[in-house]
């Protein structure tokens, strides 16, 4: 299921070139959207969107991979800047090899990291946006 299928308000049925979507989208319609890499491999789906409330920005998409009904699934906090909307295929893409994503720092639904911890934030952004040498 993609964001258009979860659009209960009909905001994405607008055929105009502007607003509200896909440029402006309801956060709840993105929950469950698939994420693929550039090699067309399915990496997971968006489980939650974390907002940086004081700054008024989206901080992370929490992605899930594997498992059935949350049993055995691994969660990943992915910086929003690492994701790109693919409106043609109604999904998100991320420029990362599947093996690298599978080895990304993850967590379980029972043990969320402290996403406000500056060391955690720095390490996470470094993993998803490594400085090219």
Q: pLDDT digit string (tens) for 11-68? A: 666 555 554 456 677 788 889 999 999 999 999 999 999 999 999 999 999 999 876 5
Do 83 and 61 meet the contact criterion of CB atoms below 8 Å apart? yes
- Mean pLDDT on 77-100: 92
Q: Which residue has the higher pLDDT, 14 or 129?
A: 129
- Give CA–CA dist 57/32, Å, rounded: 20
- Name the pTM for this structure: 0.80
Do 32 and 63 meet the contact criterion of CB atoms below 8 Å apart? no
Mean pLDDT of the chain: 84
132: pLDDT strictly greater than 70: no
According to the model, what pLDDT value does residue 79 have?
95
According to the model, what pLDDT value does residue 20 have?
45
Among positive and negative, which fits the CA dihedral 46, 4, 7, 81?
Answer: positive
Name every residue whose Cβ is closer than 8 Å to that of residue 113 and which is 6 or more positions away in sequence.
77, 107, 120
According to the model, what pLDDT value does residue 18 have?
52
- Give CA–CA dist 19/41, Å, rounded: 30
CA angle at 1 for the pair 17 and 93, rounded to the nearest 5°:
65
């Amino acid at each position: 299921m993609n964001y258009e299928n979860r659009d209960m308000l009909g905001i994405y049925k607008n055929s105009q070139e502007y607003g509200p979507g896909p440029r402006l989208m309801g956060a709840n319609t993105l929950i469950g959207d698939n994420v693929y890499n550039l090699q067309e491999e399915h990496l997971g789906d968006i489980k939650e969107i974390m907002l940086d409330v004081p700054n008024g920005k989206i901080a992370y998409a929490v992605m899930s991979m594997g498992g059935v009904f949350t049993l055995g699934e691994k969660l990943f906090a992915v910086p929003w800047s690492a994701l790109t909307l693919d409106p043609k295929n109604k999904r998100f893409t991320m420029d990362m090899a599947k093996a690298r994503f599978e080895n990304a720092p993850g967590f379980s639904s029972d043990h969320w990291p402290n996403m406000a911890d500056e060391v955690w934030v720095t390490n996470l952004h470094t993993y998803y946006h490594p400085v090219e040498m």
